Structure 1
Amino acid sequence: MKMNGIGGAAPAAWLAIAGLVVVVAIPFIAVVLQGIFPNLGQGSFAGPFSSLLATLADSALIGMAGNTLLLGGCVVLASAVVAVPLGVFRALYRIPYAPFWDVVLLVPFMIPPYIATLGWIMTLQPRGYLQQLVGFNLAPFLFSLFGMTLVMAFNTFPVVYFAVSRTVEAVGSRYADVGRVFGATPARAFWRITLPLSAPGLAASLMLVFAAAIEEYGTPAALGRRAGFQVLVTGIDLRITDWPIDLPGAAILSLLLVGMSLVTFLLQRWILARRSYQTVGGKPSAKDKRSLGALKVPVMIAFSVVAFLATGVPLLAILATALSRTISGGLALGNLSLSNFIAVFSNSAGAVGALVNSFSLGIATALITGLIGVTAAYTVVKTRMRGRTTIDIMTILPNALPGIVVAVGLILAWNMPWLPATPYNTALILLLAYCCILLPQPVRYTTAAFQQIGDNLEAAARVFGASSITAFRRILLPLVFPSLASAMLLVFALASRELVASVVVAPVGMLTIATFIWRQFEQGSIGLGMAMAFIAIVITTLLPLLLLTLLRRSGLVAE
């Protein structure tokens, strides 16, 4: 039988390989080759590495690289300061209305960072909402490293909050209680027992925050440039959008950013694989949580303040701006109007077209990444064919490819003058970018699902005459479909509002939700842009939740 060999795995393997080559390998190889051969666009391999020395000798490079690492480190620190105490209290104590706080603290993660940043600009800028309400503005604070750090931390801290709360809850308080019996103070028991046992999950979540921070484009572009704080992402964007175009320099900066992301990802995997701190008892941790007692009021204040700053301020600013007839009219009842929302749905400035484009691309991205993800995961987990390790590496590579690098790679790969046909300057180039950036989601979800399915089910089907395709379609696919459906819905939500690739490689005249919002801010039509932002947040958050609910009711997705 060949169910675990090349014969049985061939259809899925070749489909996965073809998809991964087009979506992942081509843009990555294009970046590497352009960094080595600066004249590659003219079909020449002359002068290898000649641009490398010139780019590395640029005095601005050290500053951009240093700023990138500094911003990433500051966001990690701020996220930890905000999330770790809340996560620990959520795990060990009975928090009033705990499920409500979980939902409220998840919302910032669902708001695209660039939209949240625009909300903060409207709030803290001169004559912004804060100045209208209390008489002063915090623009110098906002347009600074400190301001960028807090804005980005309020977007990323949910990753740390949920990791800490779930990890510490799994550890429980039983081991710390044993330490208390032997004379440890509560603080010493926490620092010496509970925290070390939770360290792998905490450290891995902080690594994810660092990777997200160094790859973020919207916040540094909106805030950092005004503050004179340039990072690698904005430096790459300048090299491919401002004249003279410097594609070799952009490729080299992209590889530097890839290196930072790859190191972060490898550290995350190493931390998750470590087992330096383990519990050795066989009994499960007690789930009884303690009463907050005298801490109830300060803890509730902390949850409320963080929820207001992370969720309330951006959403209220977005909605207030969207409902304003004119920005100069400010927060006045007579200035409230639905005109901006009406303008969106009446296709003002191509708003409806942007919605249709983004949702169409989101659906297509979900379908393609779902197909590549499930076939690649099946090949890696369920077969013993040669080359599956290479497939596994190719599915991991997008984790280390920031969106700006993917965009640069697609430009380099598909803008060659000698190509007989190219997706460049068509909607297909955006689809390729979205697929590369978001491919890890279906791969992770379906890989975990396949690992939980024993080999005996497929073997039994093959014994009774089913082909490999039939066994996959009738047995394995239905079993992993709940995980696959969840991943595809997440991909749809993220693809529909993706910014950096949309700004860099969108065809001339084609608008998406992200480019529409960005353009309206640049042109001064802020209310129209914010109306689109609010609509995008509502649709891309509620629609996946609605579909998941329907799937659960139909029994296709487990509760």
Structure 2
Amino acid sequence: MVVRKHISFGALLLLLAALAAAPLFAVFVQTFFRDGSFSLDTFLATLQHGRVLSTMRHSFLLGLYVIAATTCIALPLALIRTKTRLAKHDWLDLVFTIPFMTPPYIGSMGWILFMQNNGYYEQLFATAAPSSFFSIAGMVFIMSMHLYPFLYLMLKNALVRMNGSFQDAALVYGTNPISNWVRVVLPLLLSSYVMAALLIFIKTLAEFGTPATFGKRIGYPVFTTEIHQYLSRWPVDIPAATSLSFVLLGVCMAVWYMQSLVSQKFAYGIHSGKSSMQTRQVKSLPITVCAYLFTGVILLLSIGIPYFSIVATSLLDVRGDGLSWSNLTFSHYVELFSFQSSGYHAFMNSVGFAFVAASIASLLGFFTALYVKNASSKRQKLIDLTSLLPNIVPGIVFVVGLILFWNASWLPATVYNTKWMPILTYIVLFLPYSVQYTKAALSQLDQSIDHANSIYGPTAASILVRVWLPLLAQGVLAGWIMTFIISMRELVSSLLILPPSVQTGATFIYSQFEQGNVSLGMAMAVVTVLMTVVFLYVVEWLQRKALVKQHG
């Protein structure tokens, strides 16, 4: 590959290792080494602490509950989108991704505002909201409303790809339609379901936003909130934070290993070019009505209610006066974008940090993707694995490692406590997006391009600028956009690594919510969500354009 003329395997591996592997090594050293010698004492003492054991139990139970709840939402939706008249409405897939792309802490705040005492539920229905909502059941509900699109898309895509001959054979030899579904279709879905469920389990364990807002309110500590507490409250307990981080890392790595085993051993060829299940739709009126009702309820619960709460709160002049036309104002948005306001500075910090991080990550992802290509050699596989580590490891573990690594006494200089620290953190956490989007664009190119470059290319630099960059521009841009919008909304790393007196949009929303100035915080949340939706649409448009070009 042409990139190997510009950067050696050793240089690329060293760069990626310094970004991704070194922080994890720092966590390992801090957990298991004392005074230069290996020791399990601190790690075992942390695990024996009653609060830590309770936290681990809370986290595992939460993960299992969320898997069960997302299954009850995603499986019916997948069937509805492939077996009913709603199958033709492809725009629904984009709508269903909105909850997943909405920062979890914002969705959680929306539900808190709706269900709390004198909240919007009470104002709209003139009765108190059920107090049982503020419980582990409510927390599972909120997290499921955020994560169900992930499982839904996996199951729906598996159903769409499923070979129609399986259903034909089942109809010929099966006893009844329900038996056919149980004995034929569901086993074929098992591989996709287990893989997605395990990933949801990891995402639940690694989630910080909802546990930090809703979980804190009901007294339900989990891995991420406990690690954050050990590092953010005096006295700082670094050994406890790293020990708990290592436990979280170990659990997630084990689940990732299980996921890889499932994908290898239980994958089936379910597509052969014949008719798909999508062509055989159930057109019964009762089923169609139920499908529309179920879809509408899910959209109302996952998008309508939390977004209503967020927007309404951002427009209230005096929160205590409740919902009324006379109590609506845009003053919070005016204050937010006043040049001297703290909200404006926080927003511009978010834009600046995210822009720089996305640009550097896109450049690094471009070179990494060109080197890795199809990962056919051991060196390519090693580079690929190193670049994708942040997708496997929970973000808060990386943040702890970055804090430890960049505070090491042997470093001649450090970016810690400077504005480069959040930029570096965003690059590390979200580099996989740039790599994956560029690799996806690269996989669509014919091998002959590489051969032609080798023969006719004047210089390696010319080939990079005049051939590969234009061909991969859509993938690079899509990776840049995803890195930008996720960096804009990142919360847990920003809370832990921002320099003193520096805020981003995410920390501004969190602090305003905690301090009671909710309307101003929700105005920032509305702006953040709007930017996310717009950029998400741009990424979707780029992908459609690339698909049309590929088949055109």
Name the TM tier (shorter chain).
over 0.9
**Judging changes above 3 Å, is the alpha-carbon distance between structure 1 residues 190 and 142 closer, same or farther for their aligned structure 2 residues?**
same
**Judging changes above 3 Å, is the alpha-carbon distance between structure 1 residues 130 and 203 closer, same or farther for their aligned structure 2 residues?**
same
Whether 1:108 and 2:108 are equivalent positions in the alignment is no
Q: Which residue of 1 aligns with 2:484?
A: 492
Q: Which residue of 1 aligns with 2:396?
A: 404
Q: Distance in 2 between matches of 1:349 and 1:141?
A: 39
Q: Which residue of 1 aligns with 2:328?
A: 336
1:306 Cα offset (Å): 0.4
- Whether the 8 Å contact between 1:91 and 1:166 is mirrored in structure 2 is no
Report 1:2-151 matches (<5 A).
3=1, 8-9=4-5, 11=7, 13=9, 16-38=12-34, 44-45=35-36, 48-95=39-86, 98-138=89-129, 140-151=131-142
Report 1:352-431 matches (<5 A).
352-381=344-373, 387-417=379-409, 419-431=411-423
Deviates more, 1:208-217 or 1:476-485: 476-485
**Judging changes above 3 Å, is the alpha-carbon distance between structure 1 residues 305 and 280 closer, same or farther for their aligned structure 2 residues?**
closer
Q: Distance in 1 between matches of 2:261 and 2:376?
A: 25
Q: Distance in 2 between matches of 1:49 and 1:163?
A: 41
1:10 Cα offset (Å): 5.2
1:181 Cα offset (Å): 2.2
- Whether the 8 Å contact between 2:163 and 2:270 is mirrored in structure 1 is no
Whether 1:209 and 2:205 are equivalent positions in the alignment is no
- Whether the 8 Å contact between 1:101 and 1:303 is mirrored in structure 2 is no
1:15 Cα offset (Å): 5.6
1:52-100 CA deviation, whole Å, 9 max, x = no partner? 1221221222211111111111111111100111111201222177234
- Whether the 8 Å contact between 1:401 and 1:437 is mirrored in structure 2 is no
**Judging changes above 3 Å, is the alpha-carbon distance between structure 1 residues 351 and 247 closer, same or farther for their aligned structure 2 residues?**
same
Q: Which residue of 2 aligns with 1:503?
A: 495
Whether 1:253 and 2:229 are equivalent positions in the alignment is no
- Whether the 8 Å contact between 1:24 and 1:394 is mirrored in structure 2 is yes
Whether 1:326 and 2:318 are equivalent positions in the alignment is yes
Residue type at the aligned position of 1:399: N
**Judging changes above 3 Å, is the alpha-carbon distance between structure 1 residues 96 and 192 closer, same or farther for their aligned structure 2 residues?**
closer
Q: Distance in 2 between matches of 1:317 and 1:538?
A: 15
**What RMSD in Å do the two structures reach over aligned CA positions?**
2.7
- Whether the 8 Å contact between 1:322 and 1:528 is mirrored in structure 2 is yes
Report 1:512-523 matches (<5 A).
512-523=504-515
Report 1:539-558 matches (<5 A).
539-543=531-535, 545-546=537-538
1:153 Cα offset (Å): 0.4
1:398 Cα offset (Å): 1.2
Q: Which residue of 1 aligns with 2:153?
A: 162
Q: Which residue of 2 aligns with 1:461?
A: 453
Q: Distance in 2 between matches of 1:172 and 1:109?
A: 29
Q: Distance in 2 between matches of 1:71 and 1:456?
A: 50
1:131-161 CA deviation, whole Å, 9 max, x = no partner? 1122334463333211110100001101111
- Whether the 8 Å contact between 2:4 and 2:371 is mirrored in structure 1 is no
Deviates more, 1:132-141 or 1:64-73: 132-141
1:316 to 303, 308, 325: 308
1:409 Cα offset (Å): 1.0
1:107 Cα offset (Å): 1.4
1:312-369 CA deviation, whole Å, 9 max, x = no partner? 0110000010010122111122211111111111146411111111111222222122
- Whether the 8 Å contact between 2:104 and 2:146 is mirrored in structure 1 is yes
Gaps of 5+ in 1: 39-43
TM-score, normalised relative to structure 1: 0.91
Residue type at the aligned position of 2:369: A
Alignment partner of 2:218: what SS?
Answer: coil
Residue type at the aligned position of 2:525: A
**Judging changes above 3 Å, is the alpha-carbon distance between structure 1 residues 407 and 254 closer, same or farther for their aligned structure 2 residues?**
same
TM-score, normalised relative to structure 2: 0.92
Percent identical residues: 31
1:267 to 234, 239, 258: 258
Q: Distance in 1 between matches of 2:271 and 2:100?
A: 35
**Judging changes above 3 Å, is the alpha-carbon distance between structure 1 residues 544 and 476 closer, same or farther for their aligned structure 2 residues?**
same
Residue type at the aligned position of 2:306: P
Report 1:427-438 matches (<5 A).
427-438=419-430
Aligned length in residues: 550
